Amino acid sequence: MAVDIKQIRAQFPALHQEVHGHPLIYFDNAATSQKPKMVVDAIAHYYNKENSNIHRGVHYLSQKATDKYELAREAIRRFINAPSTEEIIITRGTTEAINLVSSCLSKWLFQPGDEIIISAIEHHSNIVPWQMACEQSGAILKVIPVLDSGELDMNAYRNLLSDKTKFVTVNHISNALGTINPVEEITSLAHEKGALVLIDGAQATPHMSVDVQSLNADFYCFSAHKMYGPTGVGVLFGKKEILEKMPPYHGGGEMIKEVKFEGTTYNDLPFKFEAGTPNIVGGIGIEASIRFIEEIGIENIAQQEAELLAYATQRLKDIGGIRFIGEAKEKAGVISFIIDGVHPYDAGTILDKLGIAIRTGHHCAQPVMDRYSIPGTMRASFAVYNTKEEIDTFIEGVQKVKQLFT
């Protein structure tokens, strides 16, 4: 094995506890990951020693906090290989990043009759903002269908594209199915029609290497809390030439150069899109989470999780009576499934009593559940700190659920 699991697990205090009298098995990583000590320590250190507002003070602490925050921006830039820190906007998370883009483009780009393409396997946060954009601008929403396998129907996508297409957005990895979408191809096909592209990378950055330059999407966004960092902070990458033309999102401090009652001039990038005091400690937390990932190596993380996925999938198949929802060839460490005749909620409750945390329900992707005519799924999602031994215990739990209900 490429990673030292014992050493990695030692960095996560939350993993070393009992739940309902059993050692915790945490398989809800697609919702949020646990936090390593180095992230928690970086946050505590900032509040204990460095707390100050940034970008406006001449005093020591303010400059120190500003330097750290801007170093975090540089770490983010390097992490996704963006050309410049001007293109890195720190947001409250993926949801805010998408809302920023949809709201600004509604004011600036979309005209009645324009078409916005999303996919059938989006998280609600990459559906609702585009519905709102359509309401505001008169644009029309189109949806790329999903095949039974959980893969997007690329022929249907090609047919949806036209001169009316102004914008295309899909997730890099589906949180509900684990499908890794062919985002390079989706992006280049959209660009052929002159459309802009946003990739929702919330489920990708924790698990695979992301290079926004080779991807070539116009926008890419993600959340720190799914990649071992704090909640309430995330990133929007946007190409400079587009961000420069886009009107600002929120108005307030930071995003201005000069304010007069006659009119205001806006700040340079990226500050034009960062109104108000930002989540400073969140930025510092992201930097620590990137350091954590880089110390292990994203390729090693991907390999560990691929092994867990293959092992758990095979063991579930061996049980029998399991329906897998989403069996794409390119898949991340997410298994969505249903035990025949058992409601996912009941199964999840029993597993919880055994100390096993999985997610049950629609995973903020109700259209996916409608597509497969199911009320929800059980979802086990892995992180680098999970083990095959945990999967063995999980399989025993699933067998127990089956015995109880069938």
Ligand X SMILES: Cc1ncc(COP(=O)(O)O)c(C=O)c1O
Q: By the criterion CB under 6 A, which residues form the site for ligand X? A: 93-95, 123, 125-126, 171, 175, 200, 202-203, 223, 225, 364
CB of 125 to ligand X, least distance (A): 4
Q: Smallest gap, in angstroms, from Cβ of residue 337 to ligand X?
A: 18
Q: How far is the CB of 64 from ligand X (least distance, A)?
A: 28
Smaller CB separation from ligand X, 94 or 103: 94
The structure tokens listed for 115 are 């078409």
Examine the residue annotation and report whether 364 is marked as an active-site residue of this protein.
yes
- Residue 46, phi-psi category: left (phi > 0), alpha (psi -120 to 50), beta (remainder): alpha
Distances (CA, A) of 252 to 243, 245, 298: 18, 19, 37
For ligand X, the closer of residues 127 and 354 by Cβ is: 127
The least distance separating ligand X from the CB of residue 234, rounded to whole angstroms, comes to 6
- Of the pair 99, 137, the CB lying nearest ligand X is at 99
55 vs 46: CA distance, rounded Å: 16
Residue with tokens 């359509």: 134
Which residue has tokens 């709102």?
A: 132
Q: Measured between alpha carbons, how far is 300 from 294 in angstroms, rounded to an integer?
A: 10
Q: Which is nearer to ligand X, 30 or 316 (CB)?
A: 30
Nearest distance from C-beta of residue 211 to ligand X, angstroms: 19
CB of 95 to ligand X, least distance (A): 3
Which residue lies nearer to ligand X by CB, 368 or 401?
368
Tokens describing residue 116: 């916005």
Nearer to ligand X, 34 or 171 (CB): 171
215's torsion region: left (phi>0), alpha (psi -120 to 50) or beta? alpha
Pairing of strands 219-223, 25-26: unpaired
Kindly name the residue from 104, 134, 221, 364 that is annotated as catalytic: 364
In angstroms, give the least distance from the CB of 274 to ligand X.
17
The nearer residue to ligand X, 97 or 384, going by C-beta atoms, is 97
Q: Which CB atom, from 236 or from 401, has the smaller least distance to ligand X?
A: 236
What tokens were used for 354? 């055994």
Q: How far is the CB of 73 from ligand X (least distance, A)?
A: 19
Catalytic residue set:
364
